Amino acid sequence: MSKLYSKNDQRIKHQPAGQQEEMRYEKIHNVVFDDAQAASLAVAHEIADLITLKQSEGLPCVLGLATGSSPIKVYKELVRLHKEEGLSFKNVITFNLDEYYPMSKQDPQSYWHFMHKHLFDHIDINPANIHIPNGEIPKEQVREYCNQYEDKIQKAGGIDFQLLGIGRTGHIGFNEPGSNINSATRMVTLNKVTKTDAAETFGGYKNVPQKAITMGVGTVLSARRIVLLAWGINKAEIIEKTIEGDISTHIPATFLQEHNNTTFVIDQTAASNLTRFKTPWLVSDYDFKKNYDEITRAVVWLCDRLKKPILGLREEDYLENGLGNLLVEKSAYDMNIKIFNRIQRTITGWPGGKPNADDQYRPERELPHKKRVIIFSPHPDDDVISMGGTFDRLVEQGHEVHIAYQTSGSTAVADTEALRFVEVAHDMLLGKTDVSHLEEVIKILRNKKAGDKETLDVWKLKGNIRRHECYGATRYYNVPDENLHFLNLPFYETQAVEKQPIGEADIKIIEELIRRVKPHQIYAAGDLADPHGTHKVALDGIFAALERLKHEEYMKDCWVWLYRGAWHEWDIHEMEMVVPMTRDQVLRKRQAIFFHQSQKDGAMYMGSDMREFWQRAEERNADTAKRFRELGFAQYEAMEAFRRYFF
């Protein structure tokens, strides 16, 4: 098992000079893994090795622990090591970073509940050695309680290993922007962004506690070893600011630059904004190896930096900005033409292929003229939000379009919205039939509290609301009802916010639909910035089904295109098909999104961006068109972009 080493370890100091050069912008040691699973295993094994070492020395092992989604896989591996390989936790003393306030231990949203569910209930730790801030302490006693928490850490000998996550504000624990480097355990007020990120698990922003008890920055920095975990594109911006930026109270995680034994363990997407990954030509003599994806990325970056169109770049522009090696075999003029043509050929008004046209330089094939298409939509509105213009074009141009809604979307329907629908149904049927069942559902919704698990009837009601919103949008686009497929994948249908991993049953459902339709095109959501994780799980299910089906004869003629959702767009160098939209098509897309009324006017899970989904989509599509225009291409109202996936 690979191990992690801090920046003061000799093996790090003696890195090859080239590698040190690549990391010269970075002020905190970090290790980048392919994915969160591999990273979590490495961290779990470092913790296990420390526990074993301390046992051999007859000493306690003091762990500072974090909550949230980032460490779950670490805890899962520690549990496995205990159950399958005999790792004992009898010498372990734990101190958790934080807890919401006020918060009952029995509340499913409490960190006490989280830690017991994911770790403590499955290992042999002495319950007396578990310390989690108490969210039930009377307010007037909180200050004294926090002082006692600090004293307990000191009496245990200090923290040997501190595990951290990082919030998008740069908070560690609940040390929000403005926290002092010397701060100790205390009560804090939560930042709006932090509360917004927690809104989904609490059933809405208004239900998130205002305050929390947290270890201080100074408490964290007193740990002898610190490992911070970060996964996903949503963490890329704050990771870049923390690792490469200046120390600032506005980003408390930057204080970790002052610690001499800290490692950030991150996946590739979380690391993607670091200079050595985003613009590697700035840190070393970068070898592009005739990789035109990378060359395109560099040329687009140069255009953005200099505010010039591609065909306006000069030789000195390349030379003065670290890209002179692109001109070893080509002149600036030839390079400009090469990249301009490459991007130009991604633009098409015929996403299903243009009939009777030379398709050599088009993103899609000409034949067959009428294609069978499946648009996979993780939530019931992703199809129109993310690719509504392309969807409209495919139908208009005569292709047989099927839409596969992978989940019911029930989680995102507010109780008030569901109550409105069932009350209308009740009033219409009153006096005509037995409405006692509807009255029971109305009673449940009126008395339901935040965090309560959905009853099956309410869950189905919410799913039906979203299903019929889909019918409204697709009928507007003239898609036959029989071409809609509501898959209700089991991983999602938990009647709760927390979902299951993708499973065999999910994959088989997707596989069966593909077998039945035998598509020439598949569109799927490749937006891994989805804060709820549903897109990632839904995409994993599609990829697994494609892997099983790839040897089928009909799959040899199937192309897969990935679209991005409401949170993130492909970079221009990643775009392989770009579909322009007129103003009328933008308005038609807007109307299709409007059919999803339950997601308008303050949908439950907006994330940190408070614009409505139709606004995000329009502004993102308009921004893509603007970027193309600034690079010297024709002016369009808006554009939707896709990247091809090869299986």
Name which of 332, 397, 317 is nearest 364 in CA terms: 397
Between the CA atoms of 578, 583, 586 and 591, what dihedral angle is there, to the nearest 10 degrees?
A: -160
Q: Sign of torsion, CA 9 10 16 20?
A: positive
**Count of other CB atoms within 10 angstroms of residue 387:** 28
Choose, from 29, 82, 118, 171, the residue flagged as catalytic.
171
Choose, from 22, 46, 176, 382, the residue flagged as catalytic.
176
CA angle (499, 502, 506) in 5-degree steps: 110
CA angle (189, 192, 193) in 5-degree steps: 120
> What angle do the packed helices 36-56 and 72-85 form, to 10 degrees?
50
**Peptide bond between residue 363 and the one before it cis (omega within 30 degrees of 0):** no
CA angle (482, 486, 488) in 5-degree steps: 160
CB 474 within 8 A of CB 403: yes
Q: Structure tokens of 270?
A: 């979380």
Q: Which amino acid is at 205?
A: Y
Distance between CA atoms of residues 230 and 227, nearest Å? 10
Choose, from 26, 46, 98, 267, the residue flagged as catalytic.
98
Distance between CA atoms of residues 83 and 103, nearest Å? 31
**171 noted as active-site residue:** yes
Distance between CA atoms of residues 176 and 249, nearest Å? 9
**485 noted as active-site residue:** no
Q: Sign of torsion, CA 338 340 341 342?
A: positive
**315 noted as active-site residue:** no
Which residue matches tokens 């690719």? 387
- Active-site residues, by number, are 98, 171, 176
